[in-house]
Chain A
Amino acid sequence: MGEALIDIKGVTHAYATEAGPLPVLDNLNISVPEGGFVAVVGPSGCGKSTLTRLIAGLMKPDTGEVWLHGERVKSPRSTVGMAFQNPVLLEWRTILKNVMLPLEIVSTPMSKREQEERARHLLELVGLKGFEDKRPSELSGGMRQRASLCRSLIHKPEVLILDEPFGALDAFTREDLWQTMHRLKAEEPFTGVLITHDLRESIFLADQVVVLSGRPATTQYVMDIPREGIPTLDDLYTPEAADRLNILRHQIEIAQGRAPAEEAAE
């Protein structure tokens, strides 16, 4: 494996709560090579969103280090793009202006016209052509999430962090967006971390799936997914895919404490 673009080294973190410290991450190691796309799955509440906040530099870990592109992350940086389960579009802006929001914060060599062209191009890629001047309230949940993806990519981030971006969508919309993600990735090279609770989503989108243990989370299992070109939904129904899903499901059960760990060792 080449130089890691995202390198999470022995990260341990605890939240201070009224009932004392709540350990959330325990000596976590993940590294993602340039252009790689890692899906992180794990039991609910195990610390996945905390992990995204640490990578984005929104918080500092108690111990351990997060490195992006050979630089230690100490504070937020403009080379990161984020999207959440909640699309958080600004209701008072049009879709186009929402997508262009990050460009008002980070400095960019693009001229105003290039910025707008890029925003329109991204919107077209995700199938939102014709909705540029609409307000978020006029869009469906899936469309808003598409716009939110465009916003996370507009400033050409090196690192894309997605925290269950499709979690609140229905199955058909979700599958549609998986394909959109592949289209985006083919055109817009980025290195990504995807948090998800959908195992099919993880093997469809990522080239590596990391299973986290229950809280405090540590790396419990890593699965590499070979990739040749853009997959189709049919690829989810092959025997190989079924095997992978079975293994992952079993790992999740272990992480949840519903299956004994010894069994997995065999």
Chain B
Amino acid sequence: MSFRKVAVPLVAMVIFLALWELLVWANGWPNYIMASPSDLPAAYSRFWELFLVMGWQTLWRTVVGLLLAIAFGVLIGMIMGFSRTMRDALYPLLVGFNAIPKATVVPIVALLFVGAHDFNTILIAFMISFFPIAVSVSIGLSTLEPEYRDILRSLGASQSTIFWKIALPKTLPEFFGALKVAVTLAFIGTNLMEIVSPHGRGLGALFDSGKTNSDYPLMFAVLIALAFLGIVLYYVVVALEKVFAGWAERQPT
């Protein structure tokens, strides 16, 4: 990685923090209206242990929810991609399910499985994020040009060989595009549940406790920590994409 690739985003981040600080300072906002970046180190150093524990909880539940979403989304996507009838049958259901704002589902799930906090959180992260994966896989498979199938099929290859050798790799770029959306969605799902459910855990619960104690710097510190985790998750997906679907990247000419 070149120096430029690291330096440019870092400088952008510093400028952003400086503008934020300036905005708060210029308006003379007290920190119960808007905390400024200079309030954050104090919040982190006071609660660093909590941040690590809660951050880890948020992270693993998001990842587990996302993995389930990948497994289920790919399965549904394959079913819809290979069968016209199943696509016609499932698509409206999926669209309807996806259209329900998940914020309304969160309290229902929280009440339905009271106490099963890990399960609830993972469930919401999963429900909110499998849709783009299912759609991208099904579109990728159903738009595969027939000639691609035919070059293998004319040699007597089985459906599963065609899937592994051609259909799956060919769908990977779309899959990763969807995964980038899904990872952000799963993260939102996790946090919704953590904030809403009573006696929750994770960064969402830490945020909630900041709210009940009117600890505004803590709330902002959680926001920044969430942003950091979000960035890490996103770039993990980007790195995986480079490894598995790097061939789809256009060479700069």
Contacts and interface: CB of A to CB of B under 8 A. Distances in A.
A86 interface: yes
B94 to A, nearest CB: 26
Nearest to B250: A137
Contacts of A232: none
Interface string A72-95: 000111101010101010111000
B150 A58 contact: yes
Contacts of B49: none
Interface stretch (B132-140, B152-160, B221-229): B152-160
A28 interface: no
Contact of A77 (B150, B152, B156, B166): B156
Interface stretch (A100-108, A204-212, A215-223, A247-255): A100-108
B145 A105 contact: no
Interface residues of A, number: 27
A197 B199 CA distance: 74
B247 interface: yes
Most chain B CB atoms below 10 A, which of A57, A78, A90, A105: A105
A56 interface: yes
Contacts of B250: 137
A101 B153 contact: no
A88 B41 CA distance: 56
B251 A105 contact: no
Interface in B226-253: 245, 247-248, 250-251
Contact of A88 (B145, B155, B157, B169): B145
A74 to B, nearest CB: 12
Given A90-B169, A91-B248, A92-B247, A106 B155 contact: yes
A135 B249 CA distance: 12
A104 B248 CA distance: 23
B147 interface: yes
A82 B148 CA distance: 11
B contacts with A: majority SS: helix
B151 A101 contact: yes
A190 B222 CA distance: 70
B161 interface: yes
Nearest to A104: B165
Contacts of B251: 137-138
A178 to B, nearest CB: 22
Most chain A CB atoms below 10 A, which of B151, B152, B170, B248: B151
B247 A91 contact: yes
Nearest to A87: B147
A155 interface: yes
A58 B147 contact: no
A105 B150 contact: no
B148 A105 contact: no
B100 to A, nearest CB: 35
A90 B156 contact: no
Nearest to B166: A90
A53 B161 CA distance: 20
A80 B148 CA distance: 16
B153 A92 contact: no
A21 B29 CA distance: 76
Contact of B156 (A53, A78, A88, A92): A78
Contacts of B152: 101, 105
A155 B156 CA distance: 13
A56 B155 CA distance: 9
Given A77-B156, A88-B145, A90-B166, A82 B151 contact: yes
Contacts of B148: 88
Contacts of A92: 169, 172, 245, 247-248
A88 B162 CA distance: 14
Given A76-B156, A106-B156, A88 B248 contact: no
Contacts of A104: 165
A88 B151 contact: yes
A236 B147 CA distance: 32
A135 B247 contact: yes
Given A80-B155, A137-B250, 10 more contacts: A78-B155, A82-B154, A84-B150, A88-B151, A92-B247, A102-B151, A105-B152, A105-B155, A105-B156, A135-B247
14 contacts: A58-B154, A76-B153, A78-B156, A84-B147, A84-B151, A86-B147, A90-B170, A91-B248, A92-B247, A105-B157, A106-B155, A135-B247, A137-B250, A151-B151
Interface of B: 145, 147-148, 150-157, 161, 165-166, 169-170, 172, 245, 247-248, 250-251
Nearest first, the 3 closest Cβ-Cβ pairs linking A and B are: A92-B247, A105-B155, A56-B154
